[in-house]
Structure 1
Amino acid sequence: MEKPYVVGIDIGGTNSVFGIVDARGTILCSDSVKTQAYDKVEDYVDAVCAKLLPLIESEGGAEKIKGIGVGAPNGNYYSGTIEFAPNLPWKGVIHLAELFEQRIGIPTALTNDANAAAIGEMTYGAARGMKDFIMITLGTGVGSGIVINGQMVYGHDGFAGELGHTIIRRENGRMCGCGRKGCLETYCSATGVARTAREFLIARSDESLLRNIPAEEISSKDVFDAAEKGDKLAQEIFEFTGHLLGEALADFVAFSSPEAIVLFGGLAKSGDYIMKPVEKALNDNVLNIFKGKAKLLVSELKDSDAAVLGASALGWEVKDLK
């Protein structure tokens, strides 16, 4: 009999959220632990299992679980490892999938968080039934998952699809956490929007509600709230951000001719402020043979559920343990 449930574990820099999910994408139960509270990865795995194992028992035990999927920063699908993740407390190469398999006895697969989001969107969300699409996650950074012919693109080493680190500004580009300058994520992430706000406020003298907030404390949510109140400067910040993102998406379309580009994350929920300039710049810059072909969609997964759902979708694909 087909096992009816999977487990999804999303490892964030601050919190790790996990839950049990059925085939329809319903999260039956969930819990979380603080990622940063555990300096040793073994202690972290113990802490997750202490909360996860009772959830598994409450849904009928391990024999009802097809697999465990883990989404993590710098996650390598091929090896089940997290490799040199700057925002996690464990350094170097961590064999996390193996640790969970040994501890729980359920086959476990791991990938990076943006790929997990793409798999979740394909399994439960806006990309259901699609074989070719690109997922762009607009959070603290810009992540991406590329699906071609129904398959996730991992490349030869497991790390393909770092579209957030394509360079969009060669001249005077912003410094990126990756050590290079001008990466897409320095402009089109939530952090990038806040940086743009600070730059605009320094360079210009027009009035803005954003001037009431200490510059270093401005967030992308503050920019959205100001735009909603009719603040012209805030609206121009979104215009600038959306234009750069749309130009970059036009290049990504040329790469894989996707049926759709799905945007996920808080910024994608900024409505027309971001979507209109993105769509215009995409249409203005895309190669003629691709014009009007790639749909621009916003994720259908609820923010609060998306991380667990994305990771859990990987659980349906895992092979049984030998």
Structure 2
Amino acid sequence: MTMEKPYVIGMDMGGTNTVFGIVDTRGNVISKSAIKTGTHTDVNLYINDIHAELSKLIEAAGGIGKIKGIGVGAPNGNYYTGNIEFAPNLPWKGIVPFANLMADKFGVPAALTNDANAAAVGEMTYGAAHGMKNFIMITLGTGVGSGIVIDGKVVYGHDGFAGELGHVNVMRNNGRLCGCGKSGCLETYASATGVARSAREILETSTKESLLRNIPVESITSKDVFDAAMQGDEVAKEIFNYTGKILGESFADFVAFSAPEAIVLFGGLSKAGDLILNPIKENMEKNLLPIWKGKVKVLFSELKEADAAVLGASALAWEL
């Protein structure tokens, strides 16, 4: 890492928006901007839009000669190939050689991984997992993503797609249908969307009083559940206990696989704080083998939420 090139670019591609920024060696996002992701069905036109917007930031930072590389976090991003492969929520179908297209356009090296792995790299480089060699990053957003780090390296598996812990089966019989096509995935219970589904199920199958009954059942969000729980609503607290129980039991299984020092939680649902953390810890401890009891920390991410995805992606670029 030479100081002639003191900056990297981090880029987080979501289904709706693409956010990118210029990051220094200390993990400060010195400037950032965004474009809409789904405006073009031709990926080259999308990259043209990124180039137009990002070039302004690059010039302000002293020109492309100051940029070491570009790191991208993308849905179905394959670190080995630099390709985005069959991403269901993006307008470009099939296999898109995205890292190569970016490198050609900007004239600097580019690397790509999926968004949860990018978050794990960011946490290890700049956040709560700094100095840790073994941890699991769990992203609790619209879905449940995971990045597994063993001996200081992200686990990619033989094909680049290892670590889909959001799609482990937590309900063998009559599980909820998942967007991936399977039933009973952790994602259908422990994501923000899953919490809203749990709220609807409980309200429709019980007569318990709840502040949530003041909201049309189909439009309840995980934030509504959080707000009600903070006002002492028993049904809302029950929903968080149920979600935390499923997560805690799953975490105990994950610990058996990689013996992490910590499990780091990131994403919208982690804002629920102790409401989600306490049932997770209690149920994880209850289900751990004795050799791991009391050993594994459950932590919240220390990355500034607004910058976390950009920071995570940017951390990839220091290795280029």
TM range (shorter): over 0.9
SS of structure 1 residue aligned to 2:38: helix
Given the two structures, how large is their TM-score scaled by the length of structure 1? 0.98
Given the two structures, how large is their TM-score scaled by the length of structure 2? 0.98
Q: For 1:96-245, what aligned pairs fall within 5 Å after superposition?
A: 96-245=98-247
Question: Which of residues 278, 281, 289 in structure 2 aligns to 1:279?
Answer: 281
Alpha-carbon deviation of 1:30?
Answer: 0.5
Distance 1:79 1:300 in 2: 30
Alpha-carbon deviation of 1:192?
Answer: 0.2
Gaps of 5+ in 1: none
Moved more, 59-68 or 120-129: 59-68
Corresponding position of 1:37: 39
Distance 2:155 2:102 in 1: 24
Corresponding position of 1:247: 249
Letter in structure 2 aligned against 1:73? P
Alpha-carbon deviation of 1:145?
Answer: 0.1
Letter in structure 2 aligned against 1:24? R
Gaps of 5+ in 2: none
Corresponding position of 1:25: 27
Letter in structure 1 aligned against 2:301? S
Alpha-carbon deviation of 1:155?
Answer: 0.2
SS of structure 2 residue aligned to 1:118: helix
Corresponding position of 2:92: 90
Length, aligned pairs only: 318
SS of structure 2 residue aligned to 1:183: coil
1:168-188 C-alpha deviation (Å, 9 max, x unpaired): 100110000111110000000
Identity %, equivalent residues:
66
Please tell me the root mean square deviation across aligned C-alpha atoms, in Å. 0.6
Q: For 1:237-316, what aligned pairs fall within 5 Å after superposition?
A: 237-316=239-318
1:108-153 C-alpha deviation (Å, 9 max, x unpaired): 0000000000000001100000000000000000000000000010
1:73-102 C-alpha deviation (Å, 9 max, x unpaired): 000000001011111111110111001000
Letter in structure 2 aligned against 1:183? C
Q: Where in structure 1 do 4 or more consecutive aligned residues deviate above 6 Å? A: none
Distance 1:92 1:310 in 2: 25
Distance 2:84 2:70 in 1: 16
